[in-house]
């Protein structure tokens, strides 16, 4: 009798182990990372998510495998000696404060939890999508602190907040899974410019720095030739052959209408304007490389990223490239 019970228990354990392994090795975890962040760390089920699980890819072994910067330090632009002329900066001016965040640093950290006066802000960058966005970190009366989940959707960074452990899509600023599901972060106008042109015109800007900034970790290109190659590291839901997948575009949404402006076309034109529902929509490229958008004189958030990344989330976007 004892032998039969033992065999029965053993068969149950084997069955459960096989079932767990099958669930853990889901299509979105092709490398079989353990634990599976989606299932075992965030403990989500498909019913908890607006995004299909098989399109959520685990890109590194564990959440926070890319560490966010939660206590940022800054020096004046005049003191910076670790940037190349064509290095990209994310620049945010808000509450009468201007700060610059080099992508050379953000390649290795992706999220900076910062304060602009009394406003908690997240400055975010996804190297695979070339997308830099800034958000007000307040949601539902709570101040959130964001980290890197280890997960990607359409090759884009999925953030998580440490208060509710909900998942947030970086490009859209929306939570699609967890307690904050359906919430939308307020986006802030973030520019992406080159170091030389910005520093010459704005020598007093505060610039993000980190310890060991001159080490190989920060001085070497983290992604090699990724920006110029055709390949994508992760699958995406849709692509469009009208532009090279890594062509830089400037993207914006007004209501339900999405726009993508070809950066190379804009560089030749200098500006673009059109009538949008009886209002003047105007996009301008400054001599310093900053792109701004106005709708009847009111600022519209416009974001620099790769064409494939914007198109993956906005397949109905209007493409502005002179054709």
Give the pairing type, strands 131-136 and 138-139.
Answer: unpaired
Alpha-carbon span 152 to 8, nearest angstrom: 41
| Mean pLDDT along residues 276-287 | 95
In what helix (H) or strand (E) does residue 104 lie, and over which residues does it extend? helix 103-106
Q: Is the pLDDT of residue 267 over 70?
A: yes
**25 — pLDDT class (breaks 50, 70, 90):** low
Task: Using alpha carbons, select from 248, 242, 291, 251 the residue that is nearest to residue 271.
Answer: 291
- Rg from Cα positions in the chain: 22
Question: In this predicted structure, what is the pLDDT of residue 23?
Answer: 47
| Mean pLDDT along residues 120-133 | 98
**18 — pLDDT class (breaks 50, 70, 90):** very low
At 202-255, the pLDDT tens digits run: 998 999 999 999 999 999 999 999 998 989 999 999 999 999 999 999 999 999
At 152-185, the pLDDT tens digits run: 999 999 999 999 999 999 999 999 999 999 999 9
At 67-118, the pLDDT tens digits run: 999 999 999 999 999 999 999 999 999 999 999 999 999 999 999 999 999 9
Dig out the tokens for 153 from the structure: 């959707």
Alpha-carbon span 61 to 234, nearest angstrom: 15
Question: In this predicted structure, what is the pLDDT of residue 17?
Answer: 34
Task: Using alpha carbons, select from 124, 130, 129 the residue that is nearest to residue 168.
Answer: 124
What is the percent of the chain with per-residue pLDDT over 70, rounded to a whole number? 92
Question: In this predicted structure, what is the pLDDT of residue 261?
Answer: 98
Q: Is the pLDDT of residue 201 over 80?
A: yes
**24 — pLDDT class (breaks 50, 70, 90):** low
């Amino acid at each position: 009798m004892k032998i039969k019970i033992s065999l029965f228990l053993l068969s149950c354990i084997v069955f459960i182990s096989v079932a767990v392994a099958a669930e853990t090795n889901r299509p979105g975890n092709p490398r079989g990372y353990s634990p599976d962040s989606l299932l075992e760390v965030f403990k989500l089920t498909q019913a908890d998510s607006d995004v299909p699980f098989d399109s959520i890819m685990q890109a590194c072994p564990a959440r926070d495998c890319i560490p966010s910067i939660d206590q940022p330090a800054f020096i004046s632009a005049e003191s910076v000696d670790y940037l190349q002329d064509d290095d990209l900066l994310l620049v945010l001016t808000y509450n009468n404060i201007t700060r610059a965040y080099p992508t050379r640093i953000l390649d290795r950290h992706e999220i900076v939890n910062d304060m602009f006066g009394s406003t908690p802000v997240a400055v975010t960058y996804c190297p695979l999508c070339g997308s830099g966005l800034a958000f007000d970190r307040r949601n539902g009366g709570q101040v959130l602190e964001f980290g890197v989940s280890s997960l990607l959707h359409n090759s884009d960074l999925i953030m998580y907040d440490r208060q509710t452990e909900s998942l947030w899509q970086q490009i859209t600023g929306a939570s699609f899974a967890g307690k904050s599901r359906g919430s939308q972060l307020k986006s802030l106008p973030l520019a992406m410019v080159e170091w030389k042109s910005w520093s010459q015109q704005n020598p007093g800007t505060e610039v993000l720095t980190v310890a060991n900034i001159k080490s190989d970790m920060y001085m070497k290109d983290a992604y090699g030739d990724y920006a110029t190659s055709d390949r994508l590291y992760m699958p995406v839901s849709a692509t469009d052959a009208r532009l090279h997948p890594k062509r830089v575009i400037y993207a914006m949404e007004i209501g339900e209408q999405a726009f993508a402006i070809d950066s190379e076309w804009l560089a030749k034109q200098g500006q673009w304007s059109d009538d949008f529902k009886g209002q003047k929509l105007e996009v301008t490229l400054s001599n310093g490389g900053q792109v701004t958008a106005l709708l009847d004189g009111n600022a519209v958030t416009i974001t620099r990223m790769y064409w494939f990344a914007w198109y993956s989330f906005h397949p109905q976007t209007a493409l502005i490239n002179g054709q």
